[in-house]
Structure 1
Amino acid sequence: MRNVEGIDEYMLQNGMKVLFYPDPSQPKTLVNVTYRVGSRHEYYGETGMAHLLEHMLFKGSTNYKSIDKEFKKRGMGKNASTWLDRTNYFETFDANEDSLEWAIGMEADRMVNATFTEEDLKSEMTVVRNEMERNETNSFRMLMARMSSTAFIWHNYGNSTIGARSDVENFPFQRLREFYKKHYRPDNAVVTIAGRFDKEKTKALVEKHFGAIAKPEKPIEPLYTVEPTQDGERTINIRRVGNLPIVGLSYHTPSALHAEAGALQILTEILGDATRGRLQKSLVEKGIATSASNFTFDLKDSSQFLLFVEGNKDSDIAVMEDELINIVENLKDNPITQQEVDLAKAKMARQIEQALRSVTGVGMALSEYISLGDYRQAFYSRDVVARTTLEQVQAAEKYLIRSNRTVGRFIPTEKPVRAEIPAAPDLTELLKDFKGNAVATAGEVYDNTVANIKNRLIKSQWAEGTKINVYPKVLRGEQIIIKMHFPSGTAENLAYKGSAIGYVGALLKKGNAKYSKEEIVSKLDQLKSSINIATSAGSTDVAISTDKSNLDATIALFGEIMAAPTFPGNELEVMKRSSIARIESERNDPSKVAGNSFKEALANYPKGHPKAYMTLDERIAATKAITSSELESLYRSHTNIVNGHIAIVGDVDSDKISAQLHKQLSGFVNDTEYEYMTSSMKQTTGLTISTETPDKANAQLYIINPITMNVNHEDYLALKMATTIFGGDSFSSRIGARIRVKEGYSYTVGAGMQVNSLDTQGMYYAAAISAPENMDNVVAAYKEEAAKVVADGFTAEELDQAVKGFISSRNHAWASDEYIAGVLQRASKLDEDLGRYDQQIEDVQKLTLEDVNAAFNKYIGSLDINAFKAGDFAKLKK
């Protein structure tokens, strides 16, 4: 056994690696199985096979036939993902030995005994095709996929994981079974178990289930294709209906295992940071582009260094391209500075430290490093970044050259300069002496139950009115979580301010009288903390995440941010340009178009109301009209602690932290009137509104009906169970089993309701995506399933699973201390006793089938639905 930074590593006799990452302070468990197989392992004619096989493994196995029902019954969060170098399957659940053994047994069984049939494949085809169409609707995803296929001539990294439509639709079923047998084997897999579990018992379970699988006699076949050195710039153009121009650049870079990978990661931050990055400064803030990003695909054989800029509808795409290339390929004349390197490293260190606070999150992230060859690379690469020098970062410019660029044009060159990509090192030699850092401070084992929280909860109130709720608890990494909610304003005093008010919070960290925006971000990186401030029509909300050692300095910095904002005009203009570009992008996005159509039809607010529907043109005009002086006025008049609520979770002194926060916020008192703005929707039924979105492969459906309902209504829990059974899961719900699983019309389908404790009116909704030609079938299938429930009702088994899922989901959510901070804040705002949560569990267990069926019939089955559709339906008529 080997232990690195709290992770125990075992090897079974059959060659399967096992990683245990225990954290008893969190009452949840993750089981994550990573297979070293992705789209790079597909042969000619097999593109998309790894991803399609991922879908097939949810069809069950020899000894675990209906895993979708078991997932729901046990309240498990579950999913899978496929990428270039790996595929992983995972389950998260509230910690218990029964679910843990079931998950381990199920994953071991479907490793070798998956029972998917040719009929299963056929039924899933339309779902996968719909997923393809969803990607084809997204301009950015399409461009990135085409760039990769152009950058790589021979290596499978150039193939989209979703695959070619012709391959996915035509490869023989037997080839899929052969692919499964070839790659799904214990010596090609790593199982990671993280969170709360008994190590010895779990080790025995892993040995019992996974250890019983024989190691195949035939060894794993190595891959041998190497992408040749690129010998000239390449170009790809996509011409399709859309609104916003995008320019992207791609450069080949070494494997993520190479010594230079750390320098390239730092360079990515220097160029692409959303606040301090060179792209932001030179392109976005100067109005050449509306947004810019830089990221890397850190892969096993060789990597990609990617940059993208997006403009508005009037941008000159040639200027965008020329300026982007000039920034990226001119580092010799504009060298990297030591300050840039230090700031980037501080940010990356902060992100890593915050990520390490979540054991289950780390357990998931390890899949990416397992795909590289060894999970320890996660920590080794962190250390490589930490010791990377300015000279090493500057040297990375050798890869950012014309002949290594995708998006250029072919130009004959007498003496071409080429970027030779070095081979990946031997991991055994690279990591032989690696020990890792000290294990992060563990949190205390103290579950978030109502009784436990009440036992510790300390309440107080400031003279101005704000209520303080402190829940002392030692969290992992000594984390401290603070959430603040300050209600303010009315529909009258915020009339015609709905667009502007959101900019107030967004601009607070963009520079003030004391600090520039770069200095604010750098200070937060140094403090390994985050401060998020959001303003909306009716409230100011603040979220702070820090640790015990940096708490005092972080609160002081928060006070400095709040004390002297200047709402810089140049930053406001940058944000306005980006907002307008996002609004413009809604004109042809089926999901946005359908969403806007239901808001226009059903919103019941008078003109000027902060929540009133506005057309895209009205939103653009309102955005253009926003000024810094207007934001300054709104900040002064609507930042008010008179009606505030603060929740704090962490190892803190309640009196001290209350005094610290009061010192920073005591000046924010005014007589601005506050009144909660209630939800208001027209009681309209029977609408069918269909909107054209030309040249979009995917169509969107929303079914929206207002209902008289809130969380405290006597029918709430019964209706909650009804919507869960009817549409709460894309696989096992009534409409999921019909529309996705049986018919294969939609990749994403579901239903639910939006209600709260303050409004008397809520909203029932259902949603689905599909190919335009299948949209009428989706609506018809939905109506048929609703009619079946009205006629025959739900079953006792469905209700039992829904109730168990509700309780399990509640337990799972309450395992998150950040979620608990939100619970405490809401309870304070609503003046509710936490005991209502336990009462709700008791009440949901008393529900009868008659209660649930009656609720469905009253609020859903009796409705003449409002259907809002958007897609390229005109193309079908032609």
Structure 2
Amino acid sequence: MRFSFPKLPGRLNALLITSFLAFQAGATTLPSGASEVASVEGITEYRLSNGLRVLLAPDASKPTTTVNMTYLVGSRQENYGQTGMAHLLEHMLFKGTPTIRNALGEFSRRGLQANGSTSTDRTNYFASFASDPDTLKWYLGWQADAMINSLIAKEDLDSEMTVVRNEMESGENNPFRVLMQKMQAAAYQWHSYGKSTIGARTDVENVDVGQLRAFYHQYYQPDNAVLIVSGKFDPQATLNAISDTLGKLPKPQRTLPPEYTVEPVQDGERAVTLRRAGGTPLVAAMYHIPAAGSPDYIPFDLAATILSDTPSGRLYHALVPTKLAAGVFGFTMDQHDPGVGMFGAQLQPGMDQDKALKTLTTTLESLREKPFTQAELDRARSKWLTSWQQLYADPEQIGVALSEAIAGGDWRLLFLMRDQVRQAKLEDVQRIATQYLIPSNRTEGRYIPTEKPQRAPLLQRPDLTETLKDYKGDPNFKQTDAFDPSPANIDALTQRSSLDLPNGAVQLALLPKDTRGGRVQAELLIHFGDAESLRGQRINAAAVADLLERGTSTLSRQEIQDRFDAMQAEVSFSGADTDLTVAMSAAGDQLPALIGLVLDVVRNASFPQAEVEEYQRQTLTSIRSAMTEPTSLASRALARQNNPWPADDVRYVPTFDESLAQTEQIQRDALVAFHKRFYGAGAIKFSAVGDFQADAVKQALTTGLNGWQKAPAYTRLSKPYRDIKAENFDIETPDKANAFYISRMPLKIQDTNPDYPALYLANFLLGTSETSRLWNRVRETEGLSYNVRSNLSVSSYEPTASWTVYAIYAPENRDRLETAITEELARAVKDGFTSEEIKDGIAALLNYRKLSRAQDSVLASAWISYLDRGRTFEWSAQIDEKIAALTPDAVNAALRKYLQPSAFSTAVAGDFAKHKKTP
């Protein structure tokens, strides 16, 4: 469970939206009492007689179904003394009804990926699963049961309270989140948007269970909810199932209370200063902006992109190259009522915060003197639509997308906003940004008296009825064919071959298939060098990969990014040691051109001096921030424990101080020399999954690699098993509300070992699923952690592996958490798992694996991995068969053979000194 947080800077600052094809109108017989309300681009809305709204978005391109129940209640509806109730109820509904006492456990047993989230305007509960009408009907039955029969029991509330506090404390570790919360509180005088969704700690801890039940009965009703079903399902059968479950709930008799609070126009600059330990300096400015349904929202959102994008944005150019900041960000909040836009910058210690903040606000508020250009708008529009297309290809995101649009006022906003982006005019973007980006509408770090303050226009909630009366959406959509994600079908459809070139072969795995929006996921892997040739090159190997797209001999960083945007492509470069990986997503007809551009960038990177210096500043800032974070400190302690390599070996794990020193010593000449020596052809693998032409891809690779030098001979870096003596690490992180626990033991096993499938399932039952031993004990029974898991990592190349257990928790609960984990490990070894646990675990694990194979990006990455290991998806099928055949004796024998609680090394990081008891 989680509370929703606003869109983050950069590429994530886009609507999580997608579109689906529905069945033809009139193809179904409506159940008694149901009526069709509206249909846009294949998504059809129905209304039941009890007031429940239903959105159906069938799509057979992936064999998965996603169900999302959105309640139109969030922190906006909470009164003083009730803050956090909506989020607390999100947790409580999973605690159970008289017939189902542990909903998350039931979901896990049935192979559903389920969760919930709360925002200012809505609460939703969602689940994805391998398409199955029985599972769908069962889940609809649970939704109906939870809507009217949730116990909201005092004992459940008490057990969940520590979990909710732990989630609250986890957010308190993030300086940006806390700063934003304080700024919102200052920006809003009366409206509930000024309150944090997770609520005031005192309100949550002292919540009256009777008031909580009353809140539940008032808002969790059919007429205040929208059910969304997307993916592969039968529309007629699903409508009937909805009618037989949720449709039988009575129509509410109560009337929802009116909302009449309107935030007045801000009449002067407001200031917030936050002082906490750790992190890096931030400066920010927040402005009131129109609601999501307002015709002015999208023009402002585009303006925000023009201002805050990296590297094209005005804030970036004003602050980063001038060394006033290490990085910038900006985003808008698309809310039901008028929301806010926030812009800011992250600084290195020692940078002038006053000067940075002054430059930030001056850049934002000088649009009259420096109007936007058409080129800036076109670039922002392209970025927005690229993100739209990227998510348009993923059917499983429809519930999230529609849920956010519903919260903003109407589900059809999802498409209307896209149309508004397409049609946005420069003069409108300029006019609207100028109206709201003014000093008196700003909340930041100071107050400045103003003799004649300029006022922003009065903001009101928009009426969408007339706007959407005849809206039909984009007629140009096409239905995709169903795809069978079985290993045998994946192998049969994938074209595996070797592209034999003069400078070395390229191993290929190409899987053409229909996808939503004609998208394709691709991955390129380049190997080079060995442990000896790369000695002393660890920092250069990482920096070269990170800096590839910062410029070539013929293209600037901005030009590269603009070409990616023009292709509606998402590209990420990552690399270290002997590897470079490039992940790509684009429209299928653009993939050949994208391959050519990517190979040009990889071959001809120029490492401009200014970009190298910016990279150093950003990396140093990131390292310094990690040096105060419990998760980073504890994880690094264990990583360094298993660190036998000398300091000049690329496998060596440095200290944070060593990382700082090495980053400060990065030199452009060394990067150029590394690139020239190691980057080349000879050991390359490429995979693609989606809507593309295989011959065109092969030609693009042939052309792009023509004449490239051969890289130094590649040899995989071995990381053999080491018998590590168990050790404990205690790390103090002052003033951090949340602590981190991580424990790990080495194992001598390879994934070809006959014990591997049994050990794989044993880990799933121990701490991976929501019915696992650790989850039930630590989270459900004792309420000590928001997230506790175990992870088994096993090599395919050599007999080496590790078993890891981790959890977040409040520092004062350290002893209880460590005792609970220790006891559960010992109980697993002593008693083993029951036959029922193993039977349910096998079914759930196989469903999760099937769901994973339905994701195109997963398939593309898996093919690269299989090419590297000389495998096909027959390997996946064999693992499935071995899991299905497991017996309790086999699983428990493997568990007892390998799990040795005394062999775990443990690192804990938190503010423990603050909570030590005085003798």
Q: Does 1:320 align with 2:356?
A: yes
Deviation at 1:682, TM superposition (A): 4.5
Distance 1:34 1:445, change over 3 A: same
Indicate if the aligned counterparts of 1:603 and 1:680 stay in contact, CA closer than 8 A.
no
Superposed CA RMSD in Å reads 1.6
Question: Can you list the C-alpha shifts for 1:621-643, whole angstroms capped at 9, x where unaligned?
Answer: 11122222222222233223322
User: What's the counterpart of residue 433 of structure 1?
Assistant: 470
Match of 1:513 among 548, 553, 557: 553
Segment of structure 1 superposing worse, 442-451 or 205-214: 442-451
User: What's the counterpart of residue 223 of structure 1?
Assistant: 259
Deviation at 1:286, TM superposition (A): 1.9
Indicate if the aligned counterparts of 1:289 and 1:309 stay in contact, CA closer than 8 A.
yes
Letter in 1 for 2:828: V
Distance (Å, rounded) in 2 between the aligned partners of 1:874 and 1:788: 31
* SS of equivalent residue, structure 1 residue 211: helix
* TM-score of the aligned structures, taking structure 2 as reference length: 0.93
Letter in 2 for 1:215: K
Identity across the alignment (%): 37
Question: Can you list the C-alpha shifts for 1:706-756, whole angstroms capped at 9, x where unaligned?
Answer: 111222122111111111111113x42111111111111111111121123
Q: Does 1:89 align with 2:125?
A: yes
Segment of structure 1 superposing worse, 215-224 or 37-46: 215-224
Distance (Å, rounded) in 2 between the aligned partners of 1:623 and 1:478: 41
Indicate if the aligned counterparts of 2:308 and 2:329 stay in contact, CA closer than 8 A.
yes
Deviation at 1:550, TM superposition (A): 2.3
Alignment of 1:203-352 (within 5 A): 203-352=239-388
Deviation at 1:179, TM superposition (A): 0.5
Indicate if the aligned counterparts of 2:262 and 2:460 stay in contact, CA closer than 8 A.
no
Letter in 1 for 2:229: I
Match of 1:403 among 406, 428, 440: 440
User: What's the counterpart of residue 491 of structure 2?
Assistant: 454
Distance 1:833 1:352, change over 3 A: closer
Distance (Å, rounded) in 2 between the aligned partners of 1:412 and 1:477: 53
Q: Does 1:499 align with 2:499?
A: no
Distance (Å, rounded) in 1 between the aligned partners of 2:911 and 2:748: 34
* SS of equivalent residue, structure 1 residue 828: helix
Indicate if the aligned counterparts of 1:473 and 1:650 stay in contact, CA closer than 8 A.
yes
Distance (Å, rounded) in 2 between the aligned partners of 1:862 and 1:252: 54
Deviation at 1:460, TM superposition (A): 2.0
Distance (Å, rounded) in 2 between the aligned partners of 1:411 and 1:467: 64
Match of 1:22 among 58, 71, 76: 58
Segment of structure 1 superposing worse, 183-192 or 440-449: 440-449
Segment of structure 1 superposing worse, 451-460 or 148-157: 451-460
User: What's the counterpart of residue 457 of structure 2?
Assistant: 420
Alignment of 1:827-866 (within 5 A): 827-866=866-905
Indicate if the aligned counterparts of 2:527 and 2:578 stay in contact, CA closer than 8 A.
yes
Deviation at 1:350, TM superposition (A): 1.4
* SS of equivalent residue, structure 1 residue 429: coil
Question: Can you list the C-alpha shifts for 1:249-296, whole angstroms capped at 9, x where unaligned?
Answer: 111111111111111110111011122111111112221111110001
Indicate if the aligned counterparts of 1:25 and 1:445 stay in contact, CA closer than 8 A.
yes
Indicate if the aligned counterparts of 1:639 and 1:668 stay in contact, CA closer than 8 A.
no
Question: Can you list the C-alpha shifts for 1:625-670, whole angstroms capped at 9, x where unaligned?
Answer: 2222222222233223322221122344433321221210233342
User: What's the counterpart of residue 175 of structure 2?
Assistant: 139
Distance 1:334 1:451, change over 3 A: same
Distance (Å, rounded) in 2 between the aligned partners of 1:810 and 1:171: 40
Alignment of 1:166-177 (within 5 A): 166-177=202-213
Distance (Å, rounded) in 2 between the aligned partners of 1:867 and 1:562: 41
Distance 1:743 1:604, change over 3 A: same
Distance (Å, rounded) in 1 between the aligned partners of 2:131 and 2:673: 50
Question: Can you list the C-alpha shifts for 1:550-582, whole angstroms capped at 9, x where unaligned?
Answer: 234323323432342211111111111011000
Distance (Å, rounded) in 2 between the aligned partners of 1:794 and 1:573: 55
* SS of equivalent residue, structure 2 residue 545: helix
User: What's the counterpart of residue 604 of structure 2?
Assistant: 564
Q: Does 1:701 align with 2:741?
A: yes
Deviation at 1:480, TM superposition (A): 2.4
Deviation at 1:680, TM superposition (A): 4.8
Distance (Å, rounded) in 2 between the aligned partners of 1:424 and 1:430: 13
Indicate if the aligned counterparts of 2:337 and 2:461 stay in contact, CA closer than 8 A.
yes
Distance (Å, rounded) in 1 between the aligned partners of 2:690 and 2:671: 34
Distance (Å, rounded) in 1 between the aligned partners of 2:293 and 2:692: 41
Distance (Å, rounded) in 2 between the aligned partners of 1:590 and 1:277: 33
User: What's the counterpart of residue 752 of structure 1?
Assistant: 791
Q: Unaligned regions of 5+ residues in structure 2, if any?
A: 1-35
Distance (Å, rounded) in 2 between the aligned partners of 1:539 and 1:671: 11
Distance 1:16 1:519, change over 3 A: same
Letter in 2 for 1:399: Y
User: What's the counterpart of residue 524 of structure 2?
Assistant: 484
* TM-score of the aligned structures, taking structure 1 as reference length: 0.98
Indicate if the aligned counterparts of 1:150 and 1:234 stay in contact, CA closer than 8 A.
yes
Q: Does 1:868 align with 2:907?
A: yes
Deviation at 1:671, TM superposition (A): 5.0
Deviation at 1:457, TM superposition (A): 2.4
* SS of equivalent residue, structure 2 residue 523: strand
User: What's the counterpart of residue 6 of structure 1?
Assistant: 42
Distance 1:293 1:798, change over 3 A: same
Letter in 1 for 2:207: F
Distance 1:269 1:716, change over 3 A: same
Letter in 2 for 1:577: R
Indicate if the aligned counterparts of 1:243 and 1:313 stay in contact, CA closer than 8 A.
no
Distance (Å, rounded) in 1 between the aligned partners of 2:483 and 2:389: 23
Q: Does 1:625 align with 2:665?
A: yes
Q: Does 1:767 align with 2:806?
A: yes
Segment of structure 1 superposing worse, 424-433 or 61-70: 61-70
Segment of structure 1 superposing worse, 219-228 or 858-867: 858-867
Q: Unaligned regions of 5+ residues in structure 1, if any?
A: none
Match of 1:739 among 744, 766, 778: 778
Distance (Å, rounded) in 2 between the aligned partners of 1:410 and 1:544: 46
Indicate if the aligned counterparts of 2:291 and 2:338 stay in contact, CA closer than 8 A.
yes
Distance 1:639 1:175, change over 3 A: same
User: What's the counterpart of residue 355 of structure 1?
Assistant: 391
